[in-house]
Amino acid sequence: MLTKEIYSKTCERALEYLNKAGIVVTEKEKSEMEVAEYGLNDVENIGLELIVYVNTDRCCAKELVLLPGQTCPEHRHPPVEGEAGKEETFRCRYGKVYLYVPGEPSKNPKAKAPKGSEEYFTVWHEIELNAGEQYTLSPDTLHWFQAGPEGAVVSEFSTKSRDDYDIYTDPRINPAQNRKV
């Protein structure tokens, strides 16, 4: 369970990475930072920290912070209420992030599935994003990503975000069960 102490410490670390990336956030944004730990009690390995700038019926913009080696678990954004799933663009602002999508599996992937969760990572086509590089995912595309050894800050630009509808490969994850303490 995400305790207030873990939440606070994780947010403090995330703010350090945002600072390294030169991204200025307001006090209000800091106070509304979310910690996604997916109910797995392993935020150091599976999770991410995020700030949502805007999420309307038409668009969404977020900052995603991944601590060194931290992994956002495999998932997809399905169609909801007659609309296509979320289309999203990830732009790396700091560090390095390894994004995995369907396709020819990479021979020597740089990321490793978190210990004890290996069976829930099924797509292994690697896209390496360094600061200034970006990649756009089509709706309903299975994907996961992991920070490199120096951590990563990724700006996400997308259509409307409906995180509670995301479908995770790992059946232990309840998408509605995380965020803020």
β-bridge partners, 92:
154
pLDDT at res. 2 = 84
pLDDT number for residue 180: 52
Instruction: Encode pLDDT of 93-118 as tens digits.
Output: 999 999 999 999 999 999 999 999 99
Mean pLDDT of 158-173: 95
Q: pLDDT (tens digit, 9 = 90+) per residue, 3-23?
A: 999 999 999 999 999 999 999
* 119-143 pLDDT per residue, tens: 999 999 999 999 999 999 999 999 9
Class level of CATH domain 4-168: mainly beta
Whole-number Cα distances in Å, 15 to 92, 104, 129 = 16, 36, 21
Higher pLDDT, 39 or 87: 87
Average pLDDT over residues 49-71: 97
Residue 114 near residue 145 (C-beta atoms within 8 A)? no
User: Domain extents for the chain?
Assistant: 4-168
What is the reported pLDDT for 123?
98
Mean pLDDT of all residues belonging to the chain: 95
Please provide the size of the chain in residues.
181
Distance CA 169, CA 176 (A): 15
Mean pLDDT within 147-170:
96
The Cα–Cα gap between 39 and 43 comes to: 9
pLDDT band, residue 174 (cuts 50/70/90)? confident
Looking at residue 162, its pLDDT comes to: 93
Residue-level pLDDT at 181: 47
**d(C-alpha 125, C-alpha 101), whole Å:** 5
The torsion defined by the Cα of 140, 146, 148 and 150, in degrees rounded to 10, comes to 110
Please tell me whether residue 49 adopts helix, strand or coil conformation: strand
